[in-house]
């Protein structure tokens, strides 16, 4: 997630801003920058990499100024680089802005600015479009607040923006739509920021800025206006958090925060790729109808959680696009002389984009002539750079080692890839496609509602946290999800956890069933529901303690289970997007009850960049 910090007051803006940006480093970023107005001149300094690189660039220059804005960038459009870093200026460098979010119609706006105003763009970002747009409007209006209002009325997407103007060094203008923004109220100084940690050192009183509100900051006052420019009166929010709690926005751990961020991540990953007719627009992906028709086999290759996303991807792509799919862990793929040729599509899935096993497998497939599509969360990462096409999961930075929101947004990408290929190939009808998209669009709200009451899962976890071994079982897509549920539990609670296809139990594993053995049974596939009920009866007969996960309304299974967790009703194919969440939460609450280091489990790294 990008971080924004702005300051106007009697102090030196550069010092306050750099300090504030450092407090936002936990959000993950790839470049940083600052803009101040010094002696009537706008100055922008920015650098790829950490804030230390920016400080080295600034050196001993005090950049003396009472007004400025700063930014830490999490790339979405345009790889991490000096030129793509924020702040971005307009053509004559009299306006500077910083931005968090995605402008959906930036291409159209960019084209108009080039053709109508002769603007010459320097960067690949959607953010520079905002700076240039405000700049051309400012030439006529000569008023920053007016210009921001006018520019924003042309933009579609999500944004938190802060802007300064060389000719108006007594103010900062900021605006919020679907990206966080707060204003800090100081003594003869005021602040704007993405998040509370940036300001905690200076202020404890803030305004929470709401959607479609614009903020005018001077050193003596903060005014908030609605979209019709009516001034809004806002209650002061008194911050009681300490810095650590503030970084997690009040959640006890990043993992829990990221579990609860999933509805937003799913919505961003899907909706920003739907055009006005509801068709998937795979921006920047060059996989044509001809390419798709010539694909003889797809390999999905990844590690850990990303591999489990591939297991779901296999079912869905084979069903919707009728193309054979093999799923492999990257560390195995490399050494088994895989049958790859120019008609192979190699899909690499990786949250970090730096997992060495996955990167090495990708290179092996490319050497053998395969076309590479990667599903990655970190823009400009190694896997992304070495792929022919990249499908970004817009989950935002995932800080906890245990992957959650990256997994569900990876699944969303699997669905979109399958739908896109199926429609291009004609293996699904446009009617089927539209209905599937409608069902996907309903998931974020369903998940949001589910997350409103997870107390049952917490109670189950508190009752079951001391089990020494836990089994996860399921059939079909539920089997794929059970592997992910098992990994979550073992990697953060250190309980020996085991996933197996329910139909496989009778071929040996059922010998392990004893009175009290804990089994988490997934039964979210209607067409396999009866078989799952039978499997549960078999293990109950041997004394197992069964916690079943099923869709609302499926009561028969409750009679066979010791505990029930219901997920919202949905079509079978997209049940994984919902059924994995109770498993994530179960693992989280068990690990919490066991006093484990949830965000940084022992022996694990967020990105495994070694063999
Ligand atoms: C998942 O919770 C683990 N952190 C781990 O299995 C992870 O999924 C795996 O290392 C792959 O990482 P990547 O997605 O960054 O490639």
For residue 122, the model assigns a pLDDT of 95
Digit-coded pLDDT (tens) for 378-414: 877 889 889 999 998 988 888 899 999 999 999 999 9
Mutate to test the pocket of ligand 1, among 375, 390, 401, 403 (most ligand atoms within 8 A of CB): 403
Digit-coded pLDDT (tens) for 191-213: 999 988 899 899 999 999 998 99
pTM of the model as a whole? 0.79
Tell me how far the alpha carbon of residue 352 lies from the centroid of ligand 1, in angstroms. Answer: 8
Tell me how far the alpha carbon of residue 164 lies from the centroid of ligand 1, in angstroms. Answer: 40
Tell me how far the alpha carbon of residue 305 lies from the centroid of ligand 1, in angstroms. Answer: 5
Catalytic: 570?
Answer: no
Three-state SS sequence of 268-289: HHHHCCECCCCCECCCCCCCCH
Q: Report the alpha-carbon distance of residue 256 to residue 260 in Å, rounded.
A: 6
Query: Where are the extended beta strands (E) located within 424-482?
Result: 469-474
Digit-coded pLDDT (tens) for 308-329: 999 999 999 999 999 999 999 9
The terminus-to-terminus CA distance of the chain in angstroms comes to 29
Q: With a cut of 80, say whether residue 101 has pLDDT above it.
A: yes
- Report the pocket of ligand 1 as residue ranges, CB < 6 Å: 303-306, 350-352, 355, 358, 401-403, 491, 607-608
Q: What is the share, in percent, of the chain residues with pLDDT greater than 90?
A: 83
Can you name the residues that pair with 244 across neighbouring β-strands?
none
Three-state SS sequence of 499-566: EEEHHHHHHCHHHHCCCCCEEEEEECCHHHHHHHHHHHHHHHCCCCEEEEEEECCCCHHHHHCCEEEE
Catalytic: 606?
Answer: yes
Q: Report the alpha-carbon distance of residue 474 to residue 500 in Å, rounded.
A: 7
pLDDT band at 263 (very low <50, low <70, confident <90, very high): very high
Per-residue b or e along 505-525, where b marks 16 or more CB atoms closer than 10 Å to that residue's CB: beeebbeebeeebbbbbbbbb
Selecting among 2, 303, 413, 596, the annotated active-site residue is 2
Tell me how far the alpha carbon of residue 12 lies from the centroid of ligand 1, in angstroms. Answer: 42
Lowest-confidence region among 78-87, 316-325, 469-478 = 78-87
Tell me how far the alpha carbon of residue 262 lies from the centroid of ligand 1, in angstroms. Answer: 17
Atom 5, ligand 1: residue with shortest CA distance:
304
Q: Report the alpha-carbon distance of residue 400 to residue 258 in Å, rounded.
A: 8
Contact 478, 523 (CB under 8 A): yes
Residue of 377, 392, 389, 364 whose CA lies nearest to 305: 377
Residue 426 makes CB contacts below 8 A (sequence gap 6+) with: none
Contact 95, 135 (CB under 8 A): yes
Mutate to test the pocket of ligand 1, among 355, 409, 410 (most ligand atoms within 8 A of CB): 355
Does an H or E element contain 144, and which? helix 144-152
DSSP-derived 3-state class of residue 113: helix
Atom 9, ligand 1: residue with shortest CA distance:
304
């Amino acid at each position: 997630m990008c971080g924004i910090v702005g300051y106007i007051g009697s102090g030196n803006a550069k010092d306050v801003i750099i300090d504030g940006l450092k407090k936002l480093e936990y959000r993950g970023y790839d470049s940083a920058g600052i803009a101040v107005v010094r002696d009537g001149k706008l100055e922008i300094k920015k650098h790829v990499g950490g804030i230390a690189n920016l400080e080295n660039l600034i050196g001993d220059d005090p950049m003396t100024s009472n007004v400025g804005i700063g930014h830490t960038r999490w790339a979405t459009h345009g790889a991490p680089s000096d030129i793509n870093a924020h702040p971005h200026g307009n053509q004559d460098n009299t306006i500077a802005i910083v931005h968090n979010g995605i402008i959906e119609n930036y291409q159209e706006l960019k084209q108009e600015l080039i053709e109508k105003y002769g603007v010459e763009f320097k960067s690949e970002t959607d953010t520079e479009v905002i700076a240039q747009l405000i700049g051309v409007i400012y030439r006529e209006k000569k008023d920053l607040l007016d210009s921001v209002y006018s520019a924003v009325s042309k933009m579609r997407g999500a944004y938190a923006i802060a802007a300064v103007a060389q000719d108006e060094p007594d103010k900062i203008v900021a605006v919020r739509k679907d990206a966080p923004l707060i204003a800090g109220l100081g003594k003869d100084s005021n602040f704007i920021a993405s998040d509370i940690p940036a300001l905690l050192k200076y202020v404890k009183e803030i305004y929470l800025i709401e959607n479609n509100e614009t903020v005018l900051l001077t050193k003596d006052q903060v005014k908030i206006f609605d979209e019709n420019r009516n001034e809004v009166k806002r209650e002061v929010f008194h911050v009681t958090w300490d810095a650590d709690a503030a970084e997690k926005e009040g959640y006890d751990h990043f993992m829990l925060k990221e579990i609860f961020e999933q509805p937003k991540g799913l919505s961003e990953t899907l909706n920003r790729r739907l055009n006005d007719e509801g068709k998937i627009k795979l921006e920047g992906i060059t996989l044509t109808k001809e390419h798709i028709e010539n694909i003889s086999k797809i390999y999905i290759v990844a590690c850990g959680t990303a591999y489990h996303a591939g297991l779901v991807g296999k079912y869905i792509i084979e069903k919707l696009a009728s193309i054979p799919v093999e799923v492999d862990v990257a560390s195995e793929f490399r050494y088994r002389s895989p049958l790859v040729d120019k008609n192979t599509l190699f899909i690499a899935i990786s949250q970090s984009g730096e997992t060495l096993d996955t990167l090495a497998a990708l290179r092996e497939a490319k050497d053998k002539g395969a076309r590479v599509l990667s599903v990655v969360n970190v823009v400009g990462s190694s896997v992304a750079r070495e792929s022919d096409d990249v499908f970004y999961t817009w989950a935002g930075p995932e800080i906890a080692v245990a992957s959650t929101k990256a997994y569900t947004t990876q699944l969303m990408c699997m669905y979109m890839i399958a739908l896109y290929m199926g429609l291009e190939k004609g293996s699904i009808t446009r009617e089927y496609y539209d209905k599937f998209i409608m069902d996907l669009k309903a998931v974020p709200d369903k998940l949001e509602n589910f997350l409103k009451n997870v107390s049952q899962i917490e109670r189950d976890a508190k009752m079951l946290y001391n089990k020494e071994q836990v089994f996860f079982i399921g059939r079909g897509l539920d089997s794929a999800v059970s592997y992910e549920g098992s990994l979550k539990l073992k990697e953060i609670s250190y309980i020996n956890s085991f996933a197996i296809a329910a139909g496989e139990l009778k071929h040996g594993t059922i010998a392990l069933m004893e009175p009290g053995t804990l089994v988490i049974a997934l039964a979210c596939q209607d067409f396999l529901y009866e078989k799952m009920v039978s499997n549960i009866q078999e293990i109950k007969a041997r004394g197992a303690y069964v916690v079943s996960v099923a869709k609302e309304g499926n009561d028969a299974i409750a009679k066979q289970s010791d505990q029930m967790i219901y997920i919202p009703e949905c079509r079978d194919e997209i049940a994984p997007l919902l059924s994995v969440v109770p498993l994530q939460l179960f693992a989280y609450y068990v690990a919490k009850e066991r006093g484990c280091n949830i965000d940084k489990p022992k022996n694990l790294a967020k990105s495994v960049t070694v063999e």
